[in-house]
Amino acid sequence: MRKRPVHVAVVGATGAVGEEMFKILAQREFPVGNLLPLASARSAGEKITWRGEEYEVEELTHDSFKNIDIALFSAGGSVSQEFAPSAAKAGAVVIDNTSAFRMDADVPLVVPEVNAHAIRNRPRGIIANPNCSTIQMLVALKPLHDAARIKRIVVSTYQAVSGAGKRAIEELSRQTQDLFSFRDVVCEKFPRQIAFNCIPQIDVFIENGYTKEEMKMVNETKKIMGDDSIRVTATAVRVPVFHAHSESVNVEFERPLSPDEARELLRSAPGVSVVDNPAAKEYPTAIDAAGKDDTFVGRIRKDESVENGLNLWIVSDNIRKGAALNAVQIAEKVLEEA
């Protein structure tokens, strides 16, 4: 690992993921030398405090990345498409949290617990951070795939509003207050009322009837696992939860894998915590995972409808492991390779 301090830029410094990145950089004692918070002209001039020192947010431009070693992007796909190449050209390793480059053949798509080796091949200087729902699912499924080889995945997600940003968090809070105060509910961020409701749409619908969010899970799973033969189908649902995504995952394997064997594999897997004692009502929930780094797995049981199937319940904090933490872990792997 390189010894000198690392100069880090955070693009989208005032957003929910950007704010979490600052926390994680400090918590994990990432060797930051200079820290450069960047955002749009609208947010430029705002102040952030990191490790007791105040920093002024600067406006993002194509010239922002001189002497930057690591550029963490979390400001939207169009911003990444425009500015990430400039950061890479200036010599920074770009770790992009958007979907802008995920499926590009010359950009590695990385979950460190699953395919850390992929970061070595980054000809464009860009590494993509996967979709939050894909990350937590594959952290749990990779050790099972190595043991019994996955044939098919059927996943239904129950995704917190924080995955849609600060405005979405505010909308759930406001709608909840309005309903209790007998006021009309206003929908701005979501297409339907989210308070006390479930919305079976995340992102836009495409020609095959799936949403973009659902197809991200399909395509990203194959790329990260390095196996196009894995069949995946997904249904993504937004639920009135502030933090942490939950997933019901049904997996069919090529070889038998018992629930007990799966539990043992998962207990020794990096980044995984097994919480699975239904008799004592012990299983992971979104509240349990919020603010935590691990991916939590429970309700592990045999699928009685197929020969080699298991059902799992997977929960993780979408802003931490699903975004900011995964990006910082990638940065740590980059330093290990330097």
Between CA 250 and CA 304 the distance in angstroms is 11
Structure tokens at 1: 């690992």
The residue with tokens 């007998």 is: 182
Residue type, 337: E
**Integer angstrom CA distances of residue 19 from 35, 54, 84, 189:** 13, 14, 19, 21
Tally Cβ neighbours within 10 Å of residue 200: 12
Helix, strand or coil, per DSSP, at residue 247:
strand
Q: What is the DSSP string of 56-79?
A: EPEEP-TTTTTT-SEEEE-S-HHH
Residue 187 annotated in active site: no
Q: Does the annotation mark 198 as catalytic?
A: no
Q: Residue 25: phi, psi to the nearest 5?
A: -55, -40
Q: Residue 327 in 3-state DSSP?
A: helix
Tell me the residue length of the chain: 338
As annotated, the active-site residues are 132, 245
